[in-house]
Chain A
Amino acid sequence: MIRGLDGSVEYRAHFRWALLLVLGVFLVLAVRLFHLQVLEGTRYANLAWMGHVTRDVIPAPRGAIVDREGRPLAVDMEVADLMVVPHYLKEPAEAADRLRELGVLDEEGAASLVQRVQQARQDRKTRFWKIPVVRNLQGPRCPEDLTPGVYDPKRQVLVCPVCGRSWLDQRAIVQAHLHELRGFSVQTRMVRWLPEGALTAHAVGYVNEVNAQEVEASRGALRPGDVLGRTGVEKAWDRTLRGADGEDVYLRSADGRRIDPRGLEGPFADLHSTPPEPGSDLVLTLALDLQRVAREAMAPLRSGAVVALDADTGEVLVLYSHPSRAMGRHLQLDRPRRGSSPEALAEEGFLAPQVNKALRPFPPGSTFKVFTSIAGLMEGVIGPDWKTTCYGSYLFKGRRFRCFKRSGHGETGLIRALAESCDVYFYQLGEMLGMDAIAHWARDVFGLGEPTGFDLREYPGLVPTERWYLRHRLSYQPGHALNAAVGQGDVKVTPLALARALAAVVNGGRLLRPHLVRAVRDPATGQETPIEPEVQRTIQIPDAFVDLVKRGMYDAVNGEKGTAASAALQELPFAGKTGTAQAREHRPDGPASLEGWLTQDHAWFMAYGPAQRPRLVVVVFVEHGGFGGSVAAPVARKVLEAYYASRADEFGDLWEGVAGEDLLPLQP
């Protein structure tokens, strides 16, 4: 069909409609573009600019914890793990053999690798998951003390110049051969390395990752993956150790690459990364060598604690609770203990290695008599010359209070009563003083049964008053005061509080806050901000009274009949007071092997030395240890001996000098 030359009339109308449709549709597109680009343009531009900005947390390195000489106790350390993706390991046996040749795997590890790889390869998903081959590849530093090793070309090993042990630098070996080990990779991570393990476990504590509730409760201060100090200094000083995380801000492309924002226009000028602020290091007051001596001395005993305080500053040089166990999940470097039978483990569990016994209250026994003495003298109940006669027991209101020495001490003055630990003397003193006077001096003045203000959490214990008896025991009996006077009954004090109180007796009446941190150290500059000693209370006691008590403690160690005479040090004498506290326990949950142990007395010894110029206070507590003079005193003696040895210069004049007799007032 042929139409007119200028097109059909029929189509002309349709053409107009078509034109309208085209224009209409394009108008819709144009309006849409106007909406997107002009009306919403700024919003979309901001989305495009800022929508791809990624902010990654750069975790701040946690501060190190070192002892007073700078020896590491807890440090963040990068360790390397050898990993493998099973999918790429077609011949696991071959690879395992190669790793054995290289000295990276032992026979057992090689077998385990083959077995685990074959198992993972069974499953389509798990075959792509990295599995660890060797955790903590041995690096170039000594595993014992972190000293860089020296290469011994003859044996082809690294040798530690400090401790002499030798090892292979597995990290370097693996890196050098990684190209031929298809599917293997080295992955690094940070661990909290606690080189001393159980030795400083209670003082240093441990860290582990925060849980979901803690993250929520912190309101943004903590993020998943952060670690938090759980016990010890790690917990008490967590904020100082932690520092502030930094932030890495950059543009991320769709395929995950990092894009340099320079050269692009827009608001990227405001983007900047912040470096992390490393946490501060802590220099502890602990003396690692003394700590070690304390541990060794306690090793044959079942349970107890040793505390050593600098009498002038309140610095804690030894804080050891026995038994101790390395804690926390970041301790992969700790080798598992070998040869522990199930019985031994059950026994150890019953002895509560996780509890820091230096900060738990126990009945102090006769060590308390020192404070009863001062109370008697200060209250004027007794004069320095007051004497009584001990017949082995004291009858009070129809009840017989026994002396520690059944045969009796005979005529006894204060010095002798302390040196030979006559209970009858103190029963009478207690009767004269009454409960509240004892509590006043022991608690309100010397801080026993009170929190000491120490860095770590403590359980202060109790020095009861009459009021306390009325409230908690319904009635107060005067007999309670007699028991309290010899550190029995309901009196309970912590080894640390006892050490602080003894320090106040021998340092001229300054009750100090015991502290565990000597200085906060800037990790970058090494500059130290010292923690100053803190005098909590000044106690005014006439020198004559103090000398009297000191003389009693001197004789307890150095006198012929002293309760701790067997522990005496001839060359540089120390003084102290024994304690043997009745603490018969019956615990049906305990292992049978410990039943007899539970019936024994707590053994105590508190000492200061040198006797002529008191510098160090040591308190030893042995739970159910028996007699204080023979069980606890030797431990204190070893610590003091080590202390003297480490400060030979300071005590040089005393070593040479005559015995302390010259310096102490001689009294009958």
Chain B
Amino acid sequence: MISSQRRPFSRAVWTALFALLLLLVVGVLTLGSAASYTGERFHETQLVWILLGLGVAGVVAFLDMRFFEQLSPVFYWAAVLLLLLVLGFGKEVNASRRWFSLGDVSLQPSEFAKPALVLMLARFFHGERNPERYTLRMLLRPLGYVALPVALVMMEPDLGTSLVLIAVGFSVMFFEGIRLRSFLTLLGVILLLIPLAWELNVIQPYQKERVRTWLSMSGARPATREEADSRMQPEQALWAVGSGGWTGRGSGQAIQSRLRYLPEMHNDYIFAAFAEERGFFGALGLLGLYGALVVALLVLALRARERFAALVCVGATAILFWQVVFNIGMVTGLFPVVGLTLPFLSYGGSSMISSMLAVGMALNAGLHRGHV
């Protein structure tokens, strides 16, 4: 094993760390504000998860990249195995099996599938020595690497994570240099697969319901009570975001949150609570922080010395980026409800640690010189 040499912190690293710190502060403040409505003091527990997450990020950031490269098939197939096991032995919550229950601790294998997929793809492309752009035929293997965990996660079912996996896979391939024609072909295939999945009931009825809800949300009054109920949560989130206005209602004045019309206020819908309190300016600021983090991490990818590190960095960044986009898109009604957390803001250990893992992987690329 060749030892790697550490680089000094670049401006990009500092920017990324600073943005991350601010996001964590905003997250704790938002949870604290939520506590004033619900009385549930999640922000205190969240501090524990943040410390734990930072530890994970630090360890991952300073580990040797070689270690990841060599072990990536192990991680990948372990993740796939876990995904298989969770289908059989997972704890059923709300009609889906996503979690292993180990005493007090719950483990969500799909959270590990995301970094594992990134490592596997990076290793594959690292091994390919074709400087030219890839053809569709050459992409069959990496597509298989993506499709396997996506299919398993779909079966849980967990539409949100499947979408993130697909998006991350595409991001890595795209960055590596996929042909435009191939890219368009793939896109076409996926667009064809969606109605097929719909028809073959791979997409669960409740997921279909959410899509219908989303499609009808801007429409007229709900026709039935069931429709009104299913519409309620996303609709109430829209009310919350919208009522923020330019500057927001201010701390403790968010009526939607106060009246508890955001049932998952600490979790998937924390952006709604934030946007109601802080308004358009606050939301823009938050997008700016995520943007700064993502761009800074991408800059690290550009500076990476080897293909593997660069692709890991891009993949890890893509995990964060797409999760932010899908979550905010869902809360603001751009996408149907998919059930994803917002990195660094949503409450919970699983979300925090997996987001920190991604940050650590991305930073790793920028902190190591690679092997000589």
Contact = CB atoms under 8 A, between A and B. Distances in A.
8 contacts: A1-B129, A10-B131, A14-B174, A26-B291, A37-B279, A44-B240, A52-B255, A252-B259
Contacts of A30: 284, 287
Interface string B215-255: 00000000000000000000010111111111001000101
A15 B314 CA distance: 10
Contacts of A12: 302
B303 interface: yes
Contacts of A265: 249, 253
Contact of B280 (A23, A38, A43, A52): A38
Contacts of A350: none
Contact of B301 (A6, A15, A34, A47): A15
Contacts, number: 146
B287 A29 contact: yes
The 4 nearest A-B residue pairs measured at CB: A44-B242, A45-B243, A41-B245, A48-B243
Contacts of B176: 14
Contacts of B47: none
A44 B254 CA distance: 12
Interface in B278-306: 279-280, 283-284, 287, 290-291, 294-295, 298-299, 301-306
Interface stretch (B325-333, B344-352, B353-361): B325-333
Contacts of B319: none
A52 B176 CA distance: 51
Contacts of B321: 22, 25
Contact of B239 (A42, A44, A266): A44
Contacts of B301: 11, 15
A19 interface: yes
Nearest to A43: B242
B259 A259 contact: yes
Given A11-B310, A29-B287, A30-B284, A48 B239 contact: yes
A2 B370 CA distance: 9
Contact of A48 (B240, B294, B295, B334): B240
Interface string A11-39: 11011011100110110111011101110
A33 B245 contact: no
A49 to B, nearest CB: 6
B314 A37 contact: no
A264 interface: yes
A266 B328 CA distance: 27
A393 to B, nearest CB: 81
Contact of A254 (B126, B243, B260, B314): B260
Nearest to B256: A48
Given A23-B291, A44-B241, A44-B242, 10 more contacts: A3-B305, A15-B298, A15-B301, A15-B302, A18-B298, A36-B238, A47-B243, A52-B261, A253-B258, A264-B258
A26 B177 CA distance: 23
> Which of A23, A34, A44 has the most B CB atoms < 10 Å from its CB?
A44
A134 B245 CA distance: 56
B interface, by DSSP: helix, strand, loop or mixed?
helix
A392 to B, nearest CB: 83
A7 interface: yes
Nearest to B287: A26
Nearest to A47: B239
Interface string A39-71: 011111101110110000000000000000000
Contacts of B276: 48
A10 B177 contact: yes
Interface string A250-288: 011111000100001110000000000000000000000
Contacts of A28: 334
Interface of A: 1-3, 5-8, 10-12, 14-15, 17-19, 22-23, 25-26, 28-30, 32-34, 36-38, 40-45, 47-49, 51-52, 251-255, 259, 264-266
B294 A22 contact: yes
Contacts of B280: 33-34, 37-38, 41
B175 interface: yes
Contact of B245 (A22, A42, A251, A255): A42
Contacts of B246: 37-38, 41
B307 interface: yes
A14 B171 CA distance: 10
A14 B242 contact: no
Contact of B275 (A14, A37, A254): A37
B260 A37 contact: no
Contacts of A26: 287, 290-291, 325
Contacts of A29: 287, 325, 328-329, 332, 334
B195 interface: no
A225 B245 CA distance: 42
> Which of B243, B260, B370 has the most A CB atoms < 10 Å from its CB?
B243
A253 B241 contact: no
Contacts of B370: 2
Contacts of A251: 259
> Which of B242, B253, B291, B332 has the most A CB atoms < 10 Å from its CB?
B242
A44 B279 CA distance: 12
A32 B305 contact: no
A3 B259 contact: no
B176 to A, nearest CB: 8
B362 to A, nearest CB: 13
A9 to B, nearest CB: 10
Contact of B304 (A7, A33, A47): A7
A8 B175 CA distance: 12
B302 A44 contact: no
A44 B283 contact: no
Contacts of B242: 36-37, 40-41, 43-45, 47-48
Contacts of B171: 18
B332 A19 contact: no
Contacts of A255: 260
Contacts of B283: 33, 37
Contacts of A37: 241-242, 244-246, 275, 279-280, 283
Contacts of B241: 33, 36-37, 44
B259 A52 contact: yes
Given A14-B174, A15-B298, A44-B241, A33 B332 contact: yes
Contacts of B129: 1
A253 B238 contact: no
Nearest to B175: A14
B319 to A, nearest CB: 14
A251 B302 CA distance: 54
B241 to A, nearest CB: 5
A109 B328 CA distance: 62
A11 B302 contact: yes
A41 B334 CA distance: 17
Nearest to B240: A48
B175 A11 contact: yes
A3 B260 contact: no
Contacts of B244: 37, 41
Interface string B102-130: 00000000000000000000000010010
A1 B307 contact: yes
B302 A266 contact: no
